[in-house]
Amino acid sequence: MSSATLFSRASPSRVGRVCEVSELPLVKCPFCNVDSMIVERTCKKQDNFNRKFYRCLRGQNSGAQCKFFMWQGEYAVWLVKEGVLHAWTDCNAQRTQVEVPDSLNASMGGVNDTIEKMRSELKKAMSTIRVAGIILVTAVVVFVAMNAMK
């Protein structure tokens, strides 16, 4: 194996088929009176490319499409609220190992360095703001106290 690191990726769903392995449990649609199951899909539109979503397939080929639709995060929260999912650890998705090219790792290192630099600058700015606030409050208290003595 090369020096490239590994990351986990869920098996992709296929367009037009029910995903056999889902990252989250697939349940019956809460809006439909029939036994229609929620399916996992992967968005192919540019704005949300490769973003997972969950929907009901009832009526997809007719004008009476079921309105159940949630992005992955919303669906996970909904499953927790419904008592279906107790934690992310309940998910049993099959994962595959994919090698990340060294060039991508190198560029990600630069991104991480930039984030750390921004964090450090933000901490300094917050510290400066905190000190300025303390000085301002102290000045106001002294001013009020001096005017109260007159």
String of DSSP letters for 2-27 = -S--EEEEEPPP-TTS--SS-SS---
Residues spanned by the domain of 135: 102-150
Tell me how many domains the chain contains. Answer: 2
CB 54 within 8 A of CB 69: yes
One domain, residues 56 and 117? no
Say whether both 56 and 118 belong to one domain.
no
> Is 34 domain-assigned?
yes
Residue 97: how many CB atoms within 10 A of its CB?
9
Give tens-digit pLDDT for 44-82: 998 889 999 999 888 766 777 888 999 998 988 888 888
Let me know how many helices (H) and strands (E) the chain has, helices first. Answer: 2, 5
Percent of the chain with pLDDT over 90: 25
Residues 76 and 140 in one domain: no
Q: What is the pLDDT of residue 71?
A: 92
37: tokens are 């199951």
